Amino acid sequence: MGSRADNLEQAIQAYEAALTIYTREAFPEQWAGIQNNLGAAYCERIRGVGAENLERALEAYGKAARIYTADTNPEVARRVRLAQSAALLKTGRWPAALQASEEGLAASRILFDISLYDPEVREREIGASEMLYARCAFAKAQLGRPDEALAILEEGRARELRYRAGRDRADLEDLPEQRRAAFLQAAQRVRDLEAEWRRPEEERPADLADKTRQARQRLEQEAQQIRVLKPNFLRASVDLNDIRAVLPGQDAALVEFAVTEAGTLALVLPAGQEGVEAVWMESVTQERLWKEWLLRTHEPSGEIIDGWFAGVVDPEVWRHGYAMQNLLRRVGQELLAPVAKHLGKAKRLLLVTHGGLHLLPLEAAPFSTGNGTMTTLSERMAVSVTPSAVFLAENRQHARGFEQPGRLVALENPRNDPQLLYTRYEVARIAHYAGAERTERLRGKEATLPALAEKLAGASFIHFSCHGRYHWGSPLLSALELHPAEEEPTVKGGEPGHLTLLHLYQGKVDFTGARLVTLSACQTGITEVREQAEEAVGLPGGLLGAGVPTVVASLWSVPDLSTAFLMSRFYYHLLCQAHPPDRALQKAQADTRTATWRQICEELEEQEVRKAFDNLKDEGKLNQRPFAQPYHWAAFQVWGDGWTPIIQEEA
């Protein structure tokens, strides 16, 4: 077995030799497949001049693309355009990159739409099309079409979230039987014809292309008929007005990011303005984001030595604050400083992040104001995050109407973990602000899945003060750890007592009556990073998809004392001061980073907290600020609708 460089040289020689036998005239599909493989080999080639290798790759991809089209073989066509668009983007050929991306998305849409009841195909298309949407947006913005760039990004994100929430299937099953059957029959016809394209060319019917085209037209006609009743069914496009409509007022701005091989694009809807502005951060490439900011490893051992994941693997890396400060400083200066100049006079901000950026607390990253001082987004404005602005607007339509706030249900240390010393003080303070008569506390072994399901009816607030775990091997099994119980709803692969993401996607627990769900637990905001790097595969995205308008969740494991203080202040500002969730969290984070030991003791029952910190008897230490580092306060984010007040009048 030779070196990687030697293997690639041998592969290139083999492909070029094969092309002398499998010619385009005699074997067009085999010829195209070899061209596609040759393009991939030149993209990976270690020897030779990089620019020349890229040109040869583009030449080979272009030849393959002439044979594989969305009309004839959408699966292979999408695969070819996925590789071709990446190479074109790296060379700055924006019109060609846009064409390749759009052709790839056309093929992906076909495969996605005909696979309504085939999750394996849909998962594959979601993963494959993610970068096509980002590259398409990048190229559109480079060509002076930022409005279209924002719309295409939102199309991809809303499509995935609707699928994960089961919205398309629910729409279909809610239709009259005749209409549903007509659509399913048309989709099956397209699937049958797609299978025909996988047969050897000599065995295919001569009129296969015409039949396939007619079948797809019929499928789209059926979908359009359904959209008369269900406007968002298999929604193929997004209008900029749909995105603008989600912002709460003239003082709100939106920023949506796309990370590509050619750099990062931020699309900004400034406060009080109509047009979309494009902001470029060419130094923040997809490769640099992952290898420097998120996952810097030691070669060849693969040991994680720096970046966001270093703190996830070992919280001690972040506990002292320096590693996190250095990372956030780089993020702030390179990514947020250019964007902040375009926000206008925004007092509220909706962040839509893609491609790994959602793993970082962008609102806590410091950047220069230009006059020698440093600031952060969270200091300047109230911030909410969402996987998709359009889906957020749709989610608000699906959520039940809310009149007066109902009960608060709090689940408190279900596993009776002695290390969660301060959860009882956290929940006690929350109950104090909510009112004891309106609060139900499920403590220890009382906090089970069946008990939660029973208490959800009529509850506006659900507060989880427990352990949360992100399942790196199977993200859909990421869970909140409740107390195991008999006859609890189960999912395949789930552990006893675990409220998993699968429970949410499969509707095992009904959260549609909740106005706010707070996940005061470890790593509840972490989402899929292995393949898709997207927000939808995580507990916050799952709860939004389950119909919850607003979710508060954390990006990393936070000590339970600082969590207890922050949560106490959050509910104070939310319930007693009638602030909407985004501003309540903004104020709670400010309270936390400036709090002295004296204030912490007073907030969480003075004597009990002091017993745990005997060294605080010194008056000088009582005036220290132990939670000043972002490690203690920046993990929590408001997901979804952060600006609608929960309490309409001040309490």
Residue 596 in any domain: the answer is no
Distance CA 249, CA 423 (A): 37
Say if residue 429 is in the same domain as residue 485.
Answer: yes
Q: Is the pLDDT of residue 2 over 80?
A: no
More confident residue, 468 or 410: 410
Q: Rounded mean pLDDT of 365-382?
A: 92
Parallel, antiparallel, or unpaired for β 439-443 and 516-520? unpaired
Q: Is 651 within a domain?
A: no
- Identify each DSSP E strand in 493-581 by its residue range: 498-500, 516-520, 550-554
Write down which residue in 229, 264, 279 finishes a domain. 229
Q: Does 255 map to a domain?
A: yes
Across 397-423, average pLDDT: 78
Q: Is the pLDDT of residue 279 over 70?
A: yes
**pLDDT digit string (tens) for 283-340?**
999 999 988 888 776 666 666 667 777 776 676 666 656 778 888 999 999 999 999 9
Same domain membership, residue 172 and residue 261: no
Q: What is the pLDDT of residue 196?
A: 83
Averaging pLDDT over each range in 251-260, 526-535, 596-605, which range is the top one?
251-260
Asked whether residue 400 carries a pLDDT value surpassing 50, the answer given is: no
Residue whose token pair is 């499509």? 159
Does residue 182 lie in a domain region?
yes
Selected residue with higher pLDDT from 505 and 605:
505
CA dist., res. 452 & res. 112, Å (int): 35
Whether the CA torsion 172, 173, 178, 182 is positive or negative: it is positive
The answer, yes or no, to whether residue 536 has pLDDT greater than 50, is no
Closest CA to 532 of 164, 256, 84: 164
Same domain, 346 and 456: no
pLDDT at 532: 42
DSSP character string of 163-201:
HHTTHHHHHHHTS-HHHHHHHHHHHHHHHHHHHHTTS-G
- DSSP-assigned letter for residue 627: T
Rounded Cα gap, residues 180 and 193, in angstroms:
20
Could you tell me if 420 and 506 lie in one domain?
yes
Res. 651: pLDDT tops 50: no
Q: How many CB atoms lie within 10 A of CB 400?
A: 10
**What is the model's pLDDT at position 426?**
92
What is the pLDDT confidence band of residue 633, given thresholds at 50, 70 and 90? Answer: very high
Of the candidates 384, 378, 303, 394, the one whose C-alpha atom is nearest the C-alpha of residue 350 is 384
Residues 195 and 68 in one domain: yes
List of residues 6+ apart from 310 with CB closer than 8 A: 296, 304, 317, 323
Give the angle subtended at the CA of 357 by the CAs of 232 and 263, to the nearest 5°. Answer: 100
Same domain, 568 and 466: yes
Answer yes or no: is 356 within a domain: yes
Extended strands (E) in 101-155: none
How does residue 620 score in pLDDT terms, banded at 50, 70 and 90? low
Are 593 and 628 in contact, with CB atoms under 8 Å apart?
A: yes
d(CA 399, CA 462): 15
pLDDT at 559: 85
CB 500 within 8 A of CB 445: no
pLDDT grade for 611, boundaries at 50, 70 and 90:
low
As a whole number, mean pLDDT of residues 539-551 equals 87
In a domain, 625, yes or no: no
The secondary structure of 569-595, three-state, reads: HHHHHHHHCCCCHHHHHHHHHHHHHHC
Q: What is the CATH number of the domain that holds 97?
A: 1.25.40.10
Tens of pLDDT along 584-607?
A: 999 999 999 999 988 998 888 655
For residue range 10-46, list pLDDT tens digits in order: 999 999 999 999 999 988 889 999 999 999 999 999 9
pLDDT band at 531 (very low <50, low <70, confident <90, very high): very low
Phi-psi region of 344 (alpha: psi -120 to 50; beta: other; left: phi over 0): left
| Residue-averaged pLDDT of the chain | 86
The per-residue pLDDT for 212 is: 86
* Separation of alpha carbons 403 and 408, rounded Å: 15
Task: Identify whether residues 367 and 400 lie together within a single domain.
Answer: no
Share of the chain above pLDDT 90, in %: 47
SS3 state at 229: helix
Most confident of 189-193, 364-368, 493-497: 364-368
341 and 438 part of one domain: no
8 A C-beta contact, residue 286 and residue 260: yes
Q: What are phi and psi of 49, to 5 degrees?
A: -90, 130
Last-in-domain residue among 229, 259, 283: 229
Please give the backbone phi and psi of residue 385, each rounded to the nearest 5 degrees, phi first: -125, 155
Q: Are residues 298 and 333 in the same domain?
A: yes
pLDDT tens digits for range 67-118: 988 877 888 899 999 999 999 999 999 999 999 999 999 998 888 887 766 7
Determine the pLDDT at residue 490: 85
Say how far apart CA 538 and CA 550 lie, in whole Å: 14
Q: CA distances (Å), 302 to each of 44, 298, 313, 315, 356, in order?
A: 20, 5, 14, 19, 20
Domain that holds residue 117: 4-229
Q: Is residue 611 a part of any domain in this protein? A: no
CB-neighbour burial class of residue 434 (10 A; exposed 0-12, middle 13-18, buried 19+): buried
Please tell me whether residue 75 adopts helix, strand or coil conformation.
helix
pTM equals 0.88
pLDDT computed for residue 535 by the predictor: 44
What count of other Cβ atoms lies within 10 Å of the Cβ of residue 124? Answer: 17
For residue 225, pLDDT beyond 80:
yes
Query: Rounded distance, CA 415 to CA 421, Å?
Result: 12
341 shares a domain with 407: no
Among 206-210, 515-519, 596-600, the minimum mean pLDDT is found in 206-210
- Do residues 428 and 570 both lie within one domain? yes
133 within domain boundaries: yes
Q: 264 near 137, Cβ under 8 Å?
A: no
> What pLDDT score was predicted for residue 39?
93
Other CB atoms within 10 A of residue 321 CB = 13
Domains in the chain, number: 3
Is the separation of the CB atoms in 134 and 258 below 8 Å?
A: yes
Q: Of 385, 416, 451, which closes a domain?
A: 385
Pair 421, 381 in one domain: no
